[in-house]
Amino acid sequence: MLEQGTISIHTENIFPIIKKSLYSDHQIFLRELVSNAVDAIQKLNMVSRAGEYNGEIGEPEIQLAIDKDHKTLSITDNGIGMTAEEVKKYINQVAFSSAEEFIHKYQGKSDQPIIGHFGLGFYSSFMVAQKVEIDTLSYQEGAQAVHWSCDGSPNFTLEESSRTTRGTTITLTLQGEEEEFLEAARIKNLVKTYCDFMPVPIKLEGEVLNKQKAPWRESASNLSQEEYLEFYRYLYPFQEEPLLWVHLNTDYPFIINGILYFPKMRPDVDVTKGQIKLFCNQVFVSDNCEEIIPQFLTPMRGVIDSTDIPLNVSRSALQGDRTVRRIGDYIAKKVGDRLKELYRDSREQYISAWKDLSTFVKFGVLNDEKFKKQVEDIIVFRTTAKVAQKAIAETPVVEVQSPDGDVWQDVTPPSPSAEEAISSTPYTTLKEYLERNKERHENRVFYSTDETTQSTYIELHKNQGLEVLFMDSFIDTHFINFLEREYSDVKFTRVDSDLDNTLLDQDKAGDIVDPKTNKTRSESIKELFEKSLNKPKVNIRTEALKSDDPQGTPPAIVLLPEILRRLREMNAMMQQQNVDFPEDHILLVNTAHPLIQNLVNISQGSIIQDDGQPSTNPLVNLICQHVYDLALMSQKGFDAEGMKSFVERSNEVLTKLTEQAGK
């Protein structure tokens, strides 16, 4: 026996600390031991290239073996091996004087990168093993093979071994409660999870378990589009294809490689939870990269691999420091560069992906000044204008074999015409919008937040040649405020907040005074609705909406003043409440609509009864209420009680109208 002793002084508590404090997940022992085996193989390659070893290296490989009878799991490499002195140095002399000092020095300081220090990865084996043995032979000429053994106490034995092959075998005699690691399926799953992209074949019973090739370590020019897609499908099976991807590759001022994908956003995706996999030297570390990735890029997927990201000893958590922040800035810049490249070179593809991209691009602009400067000119909005887009792509030639089997026929669809090049859902930047409309309404932007409920207002604008932008994502409420700060001379007006003079017809007839009532028609209409509705908080306005077809315009619309509406929205957001429809609003009655004109005529032509009230007064009141209900419906949905009342009033209106018609 070469030596018998204790691992180090004052380490009575090292194994409980390893089991309870350093590692929260027992299964990572295999990752640590296989990582050590890969390191041993790579070190052999280094000394061979340096001319310090002239023997045959052979094909590198790591062999895993299970012996259920003896309850052992072994990991064997054909790497550099260790001498007795190296075993003493790297295994016995754990490089700290006491467990207490270690905990104080490293676990208490988040800015200390400690992975790889002191060979602690090897000691993770004691989480699952009641006994750990090392059998190793160094590459050095004339080296003596040695065998090291420890039962989990501070005591160990070191003796000569009969091993004749270069390399190292770690044999774990598993604890009774850890016998799940004697199942081949369990080991295969762990290799796939943690070691799939390690650059050395890992074998179990002759079967190679890992893929070995890490696409993110390849040059972007060496990967085809299909290879990028295949990698995504492998990482995230049964998911829709990604929109685009960003390849990361730099070695200054830090080392980082990776491939990040923009996924299609689905309702069931939690955008607050990251799905980027963190690797260190092709060793899987964590599914959590949230400390590295800027918050607005959290929905991205893919892989980041870096040796410069400081981890704690168990590799389970990142240690925040300046390097992490700089890496985050680098990733954000690369994403911005990729978006600009796509916008420049393939705007149609960029626009097709914008529905999914827009949320985190806008969120990034709101939260990252550098990113904002990168992408502010490529933020697009859907628009009502007919904006010509570039042709989607040159149509590929498609040929099929004819029925007789010999002649190939060209069935390539015709190229899109100039008219077809006008996109059915055109998009525009804000600068393009302002330039296009500066003659008609300089420095004014009309926008819609809900195409369905605001359709009436959108049509009014479109019919008069006013372009409307759609700002209808959940983040746009905040984004509009940002745009107003950026474009301080531009006024943003929601289509239902007020009407531009372009939409109004200066109705001179409305100003003519009726000698019977001594009131203008507009005044009569206003008074009629005020009495019928009896809602003091509703401000009745009378205007004639401009149209070639007055019947095609609404008889009345509800307007919500921009400033008051925003104040209500902000207050509701701060109190985490829903925005209630305000009692104070404007009812704009369209004096040019035939229904309103008929309503005035009916009210003025009524026969006065004995009680002094016109006989048609109930019908007029009901129609006024019905017009108001219809205007409200385009702004808000009725609750159950409101809908019940609306249906009842509608039925009553129809009943009275049929009564009138039957007289």
pLDDT at 391 over 60: no
pLDDT at 117: 39
Amino acid code (one letter) for 250: T
Using DSSP, state whether 638 is helix, strand or coil: coil
CB 507 within 8 A of CB 544: yes
Paired residues of 428 in beta bridges: 381
> Is 152 or 262 the better-scoring residue by pLDDT?
262
Please tell me the distance from the alpha carbon of residue 484 to that of residue 506, in angstroms, as a whole number: 31
CB 112 within 8 A of CB 106: yes
List the strands of the sheet with 380-383, edge to edge. 427-429, 380-383, 468-470, 444-448, 491-494
List the strands of the sheet with 283-286, edge to edge. 244-250, 256-262, 301-305, 275-280, 283-286
**Any residues with CB less than 8 A from the CB of 550 and at least 6 apart, and which?**
590, 592, 593, 594
pLDDT at 421 over 70: no
- Annotate 57-69 with b (16+ C-beta within 10 A) or e (fewer): eeebbbbbebeee
CB atoms under 10 Å from CB of 378, counted, come to: 17
Please tell me the distance from the alpha carbon of residue 558 to that of residue 499, in angstroms, as a whole number: 11
> Is 405 or 149 the better-scoring residue by pLDDT?
149
Taking only the tens place, the pLDDT of each residue in 231-255 is: 999 999 988 999 999 999 998 888 9
Give residue 211's pLDDT band: very low, low, confident or very high (50, 70, 90).
very high
Q: Give the H or E element holding residue 248.
A: strand 244-250
Q: What are phi and psi of 374, to 5 degrees?
A: -70, -40
CB atoms under 10 Å from CB of 423, counted, come to: 17
pTM value is 0.77
> Is 235 or 653 the better-scoring residue by pLDDT?
235
Taking only the tens place, the pLDDT of each residue in 464-512 is: 889 999 998 888 888 998 999 999 999 999 999 888 888 888 766 566 7
pLDDT at 175 over 90: yes
Q: Give the H or E element holding residue 544.
A: strand 538-545
Alpha helices, DSSP H, located in 346-419: 347-367, 369-375
Using DSSP, state whether 368 is helix, strand or coil: coil
* Helix/strand/coil percentages in the chain, nearest 5: 40, 20, 40
pLDDT at 197 over 50: yes
pLDDT at 24: 62
Q: What is the dihedral of CA 549, 437, 480, 326, to 10 degrees?
A: 150
617-633 vs 521-533: helix crossing angle, rounded to 10? 90
Taking only the tens place, the pLDDT of each residue in 512-535 is: 776 676 778 888 899 999 999 999
Give residue 290's pLDDT band: very low, low, confident or very high (50, 70, 90).
confident
**Any residues with CB less than 8 A from the CB of 147 and at least 6 apart, and which?**
133, 134, 135, 158, 159, 160, 161, 163
pLDDT at 44: 92
Give residue 354's pLDDT band: very low, low, confident or very high (50, 70, 90).
very high
Query: Mean pLDDT throughout 310-322?
Result: 57
Please tell me the distance from the alpha carbon of residue 188 to that of residue 182, in angstroms, as a whole number: 11
pLDDT at 509: 55
- Give me the DSSP letters along 262-313: EPPP-TT--TTS-EEEEEETTEEEES--TTTS-GGGTT-EEEEE-SSS-B-T
List the strands of the sheet with 62-67, edge to edge. 3-6, 155-160, 146-150, 129-137, 167-174, 72-77, 62-67, 202-204, 207-208
pLDDT at 573: 64
Cα dihedral sign, 326-332-335-340: negative
Q: What is the DSSP letter of 608?
A: B
Q: Give the H or E element holding residue 469.
A: strand 468-470
- Give me the DSSP letters along 72-124: EEEEEE-S----HHHHIIIIIS-SSS-HHHHIIIIIT-TT---TTGGGHHHHG
- Of 54-68, 330-344, 566-580, 588-602, least confident by mean pLDDT is 566-580
Cα dihedral sign, 499-503-505-506: positive
Give residue 318's pLDDT band: very low, low, confident or very high (50, 70, 90).
low
CB 589 within 8 A of CB 556: yes
Q: Give the H or E element holding residue 167.
A: strand 167-174
pLDDT at 7: 56
pLDDT at 636 over 90: no
> Is 240 or 270 the better-scoring residue by pLDDT?
240
617-633 vs 594-604: helix crossing angle, rounded to 10? 160
pLDDT at 417: 45
pLDDT at 649: 84
Number of H helices, E strands in the chain: 19, 27
pLDDT at 116: 40
**Residue keyed to tokens 């995230």:** 236
pLDDT at 619: 84
CB 249 within 8 A of CB 257: yes
**Any residues with CB less than 8 A from the CB of 503 and at least 6 apart, and which?**
460, 461, 464, 466, 545, 546
Q: Which two tokens stand for residue 133?
A: 């043995």
pLDDT at 288: 74
pLDDT at 269 over 50: yes
pLDDT at 107 over 60: no
CB 282 within 8 A of CB 216: no
pLDDT at 418: 41
Please tell me the distance from the alpha carbon of residue 411 to that of residue 400, in angstroms, as a whole number: 7
pLDDT at 47 over 80: yes
Percent of the chain scoring above 90 in pLDDT:
44
Taking only the tens place, the pLDDT of each residue in 72-104 is: 999 999 999 999 998 988 787 653 333 344 344
Give residue 8's pLDDT band: very low, low, confident or very high (50, 70, 90).
low
Give residue 657's pLDDT band: very low, low, confident or very high (50, 70, 90).
confident
Please tell me the distance from the alpha carbon of residue 399 to that of residue 411, in angstroms, as a whole number: 6
CB 558 within 8 A of CB 585: yes
Using DSSP, state whether 553 is helix, strand or coil: coil
C-alpha distances in angstroms, 436 versus 363, 447, 466, 485, 503?
27, 15, 11, 21, 19
Taking only the tens place, the pLDDT of each residue in 12-28 is: 545 655 555 555 678 88
C-alpha distances in angstroms, 407 versus 186, 396, 402, 403?
56, 19, 6, 8
CB 209 within 8 A of CB 197: no
Q: What is the DSSP letter of 408?
A: E
pLDDT at 77: 96
Phi-psi region of 152 (alpha: psi -120 to 50; beta: other; left: phi over 0): left
Using DSSP, state whether 567 is helix, strand or coil: helix
- Of 74-78, 273-277, 366-370, least confident by mean pLDDT is 273-277
Average of per-residue pLDDT values in the chain: 82
What's the residue count for the chain? 663
Alpha helices, DSSP H, located in 156-241: 184-194, 225-235
pLDDT at 82: 94
Please tell me the distance from the alpha carbon of residue 623 to that of residue 16, in angstroms, as a whole number: 83
CB 312 within 8 A of CB 23: no
Is the bond into 253 cis (omega within 30 degrees of 0)? yes
pLDDT at 616: 56
